[in-house]
Each structure stands twice: as structure tokens, then as C-alpha cells.
């Protein structure tokens, strides 16, 4: 089973649009890997248990393929970001003109300018919300498609290494992990294994998206950060 992701972005990309800020309306959740029942007659190992921990959202985001796909999606939305920035700058300019000339303007002229500012502000807010929803939807599609492939590599890796249980520490609200030994964190190992299998080269440092920040609770052992916010 997979948890449905309403909004998921693997990193934050800042859009300068004056006073308008776009934020995620729902916290991202890691997909819940499919569970398979033990076939009848299959013996369950009674040997010692080996437990591993993975920050799955971060693993997906940090793969070379994830970095590449995210960069492509951000590039696709840059024209829309520029358009929103232009609209926001226009509103700021109108506000400044009203403020600077307020003493010399008639009440009728002030009211007219205020209505114009209000109309343009509402139009910007609608456009920004539409762009945000579109970005979130496409990011969710990108993440889900890649997450399935990363999970397949995770499945192979843990079986090869003899792990009997893998816990996901991606989300503070759902993760049962309170503390872990660094040696049990297999996030990087899975990312490396996926990169080898996919054959996608690492992205240039100047263009690769920054690693997402984590919404996990602080542990005694510090993990690399993971965030799941849409661009602002």
C-alpha cells in the first residue's frame, strides 16, 4: 500500500515575489512500502534480527536521477516564477506611488488606485495558488514514480545484507525511531546502490538542487537533513 501524497516537493526553491509567499499546505509523507503476506508453508527465520533505518524521502531526493528530475521540473516552472515576480513588482510599485503621492491625490483618485491594487493582488494570489498546485501535482508524480524504483533497490539491498526489519525515519509524526546507531542508517548505501543501477551521472554542483531538509525529530545521532516543501 502507498500513502497518497497531497503535496510533496523534495526541496525548496525560493521565488522572489515580493510579499507573496507560497507554502506547502500538507506535510509530505513517505510512501508506505507494499507488504506481502508470508506464503503458506514458508518457514520464518528464527535467527537473530538485524534492524536498519532509512530516511526514505531523503534517499529518493538524493539519487542522481532524483536530482536530475527535480532540476528539470524547476527549470520548467522558471517562466511562471518570473511572471509572478513581475506581477508582484508591479503591485509594489503601485503601492509606493500611492504612498508617495498620497497627500496630493484626491480621495476619488486614492480609491481608484486602491481598487486597482486590490484587483491585481487578488489576481496574483490566484495565479500563485494555481502555479503552486500545478507544481505540487507534478512533483508528486515525479516522486512517486522514482520512489517505486528506489524501493525495489532497497528491497534487494536489505535481502542481500540479511536485514530482517527496516524502519523509515522520514517523518517525525509517524517514525518510531527515537535513537539509532549510525551503523544502522542505510540511506546512503541505498542511494549509492540505486545510482549504480540507474546509470544516471551525478548532476553538476552548480545546477544540482540542494538536499532537502528533514522534518524528523532530533535524534542522539544527527542525520543528514531532508525537507519536503514546494518552492517559495
With residue 52 as reference, give the H or E element that holds it: strand 51-54
Q: Pick the closest to residue 161 from 140, 195, 194, 184 (CA basis).
A: 184
* Helical packing angle, 64-101 and 187-198, nearest 10°: 100
Instruction: Supply the pTM of this predicted model.
Output: 0.66
Rounded CA-CA distance 223/40 in Å is 39
12-30 pLDDT, tens per residue?
333 333 333 333 333 344 4
Rounded CA-CA distance 130/22 in Å is 11
Q: Cβ atoms within 10 A of the Cβ of 53, count?
A: 23
pLDDT at 46: 54
* Helical packing angle, 64-101 and 107-161, nearest 10°: 170
49-85 pLDDT, tens per residue?
899 999 999 999 999 999 999 999 999 999 999 999 9
Rounded CA-CA distance 132/145 in Å is 20
Instruction: Extract the C-alpha cell encoding 22.
Output: 507560497
Q: Pick the closest to residue 166 from 26, 36, 49, 85 (CA basis).
A: 49
Q: Which stretches of the chain drop beneath a pLDDT of 50?
A: 1-45, 208, 210-232
Q: Pick the closest to residue 10 from 81, 93, 67 (CA basis).
A: 67
pLDDT at 3: 36
pLDDT at 105: 87
What contacts 146, CB < 8 A, 6 or more positions away? 60, 63, 65, 66, 69
pLDDT at 20: 37
Residue count of the chain, please give it. Answer: 232
Domain boundaries, the chain: 51-198
pLDDT at 203: 87
pLDDT at 216: 36
What are the φ/ψ torsions at residue 66 (nearest 5 degrees)? -65, -45
pLDDT at 179: 85
pLDDT at 204: 85
Pair 59, 150: CB distance under 8 Å: yes
pLDDT at 122: 97
Instruction: Extract the C-alpha cell encoding 103.
Output: 497627500
pLDDT at 207: 53
Amino acid at each position: 500500500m502507498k500513502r497518497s501524497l497531497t503535496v510533496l516537493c523534495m526541496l525548496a526553491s525560493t521565488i522572489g515575489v515580493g510579499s507573496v509567499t507560497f507554502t506547502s499546505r500538507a506535510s509530505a509523507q513517505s510512501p508506505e512500502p507494499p507488504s506481502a503476506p508470508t506464503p503458506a508453508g514458508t518457514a520464518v527465520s528464527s535467527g537473530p534480527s538485524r534492524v536498519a533505518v532509512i530516511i526514505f524521502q531523503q534517499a529518493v531526493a538524493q539519487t542522481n536521477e532524483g536530482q536530475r528530475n527535480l532540476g528539470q521540473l524547476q527549470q520548467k516552472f522558471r517562466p511562471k516564477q518570473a511572471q509572478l515576480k513581475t506581477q508582484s513588482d508591479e503591485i509594489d510599485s503601485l503601492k509606493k506611488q500611492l504612498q508617495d503621492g498620497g497627500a496630493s491625490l484626491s480621495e476619488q483618485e486614492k480609491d481608484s488606485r486602491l481598487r486597482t491594487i486590490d484587483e491585481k493582488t487578488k489576481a496574483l494570489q490566484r495565479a500563485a495558488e494555481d502555479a503552486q498546485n500545478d507544481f505540487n501535482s507534478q512533483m508528486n508524480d515525479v516522486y512517486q514514480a522514482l520512489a517505486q524504483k528506489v524501493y525495489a533497490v532497497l528491497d534487494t539491498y536489505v535481502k542481500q545484507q540479511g536485514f530482517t526489519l527496516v524502519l523509515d525515519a522520514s517523518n517525525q509524526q509517524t517514525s518510531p525511531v527515537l535513537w539509532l546507531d549510525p551503523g544502522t542508517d542505510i540511506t546512503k548505501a541505498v542511494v549509492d546502490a540505486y545510482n549504480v543501477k540507474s546509470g544516471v551521472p551525478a548532476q553538476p554542483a552548480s545546477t544540482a538542487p540542494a538536499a532537502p531538509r528533514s522534518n524528523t525529530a532530533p535524534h542522539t545521532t544527527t542525520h543528514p537533513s531532508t525537507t519536503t516543501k514546494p518552492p517559495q
